[in-house]
Amino acid sequence: MMLVFFSAEHMKQRNILIIKHGSLGDIAQASGAIQDIYEHHKNDQIHLLTTKPYFDLFKKNPFIHDVILDKRLPKFNLIYLYSLMRKIKKLKISKVYDLQNSSRTNFYKRILFPNSNLNVWSSSETTLPNDKTKEEFDKKSVLERFNHQMQTSEINTKHTMLPDFSWSCTDISKIKSEYKLEKYIVLFPFCSPHLTQKKWPYYNELIEKIKNHYNDEYKVVVAPGPNEIADSKEISALCVLDNGKALDISQLSSLIKESSFVIANDTGPAHMAAHLNSKGLTLFGSHTTAYKVSIERENFKAIQVTDLSKLTAQKVFEKLTNLLI
């Protein structure tokens, strides 16, 4: 019998930190990279730094052992900054995977690990290809950039290019029973007030076409966010809430995953749908491209136009009927 001996250093469990502050769509996109990091560090403890809107969500992630809250107070709030950095330094982090890649996380790098390289801090900056400028590299899609960051960090990218956001789901049987939801199409006609160029204006016309064509085969529903409930009254669809309040992220994930089809503007729920492997369609104007944000998947497609106001309800409806098979 052959005996294999491991050194104390080899057996020692290390602390690994992932940083992902948001946003909702970005978290769905990063799910595959997080899973690959977890599988690479199977014997280590995975900590994740995030913000309040996603703190409880990440606690459900099976690839994260511990979630740390970052209040993201102003950088000049030295008391808070000292407290957060002290908490992280106490963990004696061996490796950081910065999946946020923001000016703020770069600021954290300078405080926590000044002069560190890829061996300690993995980010888009420390993994930038030698033959590319940041501007050139940023032309690649979100998932391609994650994939490069992971591979350059010697991570086997089995999941990075195919994120699975289904870990975020929960039981919504009571909600579905309340609204008698069996076969349904869920629409996301809303967008941030400062991003009105993402908003397609013909959802009510589309709803009329769906109802005329499918009769009662599918219910058409909307699931507004907390600040969209009032606006949902302008949409001719069933508004799904939980005791009068907007669904939380996990409930929304399940509503999307269990739907027959999703139609959405380029918003967080569209990215959730794409990476929940839902059938659906997202509508893009000239603000960005479907390629750049890595939103098209096997069951989830995009219509790209230069001007959303010129995209007719008939064209969207025809695409829906082709995909809803």
pLDDT tens-digit series, residues 19-48:
999 999 999 999 999 999 999 999 999 999
Are residues 258 and 236 located together in one domain of the fold? yes
pTM of the model as a whole: 0.93
Q: Considering its fold, how many domains does the chain have in total? A: 2
Are residues 173 and 255 located together in one domain of the fold? yes
Are residues 273 and 145 located together in one domain of the fold? no
Question: Phi and psi at residue 80, in whole multiples of 5°?
Answer: -65, -45
Which pLDDT does position 183 carry in this prediction?
97
Are residues 185 and 139 located together in one domain of the fold? no
pLDDT tens-digit series, residues 236-281:
999 999 999 999 999 999 999 999 999 999 999 999 999 999 999 9
Which pLDDT does position 47 carry in this prediction?
98
Are residues 223 and 243 located together in one domain of the fold? yes
| C-alpha–C-alpha distance, residues 317 and 321, integer Å | 6
The confidence band for 93, taking pLDDT boundaries of 50, 70 and 90, is: very high
| C-alpha–C-alpha distance, residues 257 and 276, integer Å | 6
Are residues 172 and 316 located together in one domain of the fold? yes
Q: Domain range for residue 136? A: 12-163
Distances (CA, A) of 260 to 92, 273, 280, 323: 47, 11, 8, 10
Encoded amino acid at 108, one letter: Y
Encoded amino acid at 216, one letter: D
Which pLDDT does position 201 carry in this prediction?
96
Are residues 179 and 103 located together in one domain of the fold? no
Question: Phi and psi at residue 285, in whole multiples of 5°?
Answer: -95, -145
- Domain membership flag for residue 209: yes
Which pLDDT does position 99 carry in this prediction?
98
Are residues 154 and 234 located together in one domain of the fold? no
Q: Which of 163, 189, 218 is the last residue of a domain?
A: 163
Are residues 120 and 59 located together in one domain of the fold? yes
- Domain membership flag for residue 1: no
Which pLDDT does position 196 carry in this prediction?
80
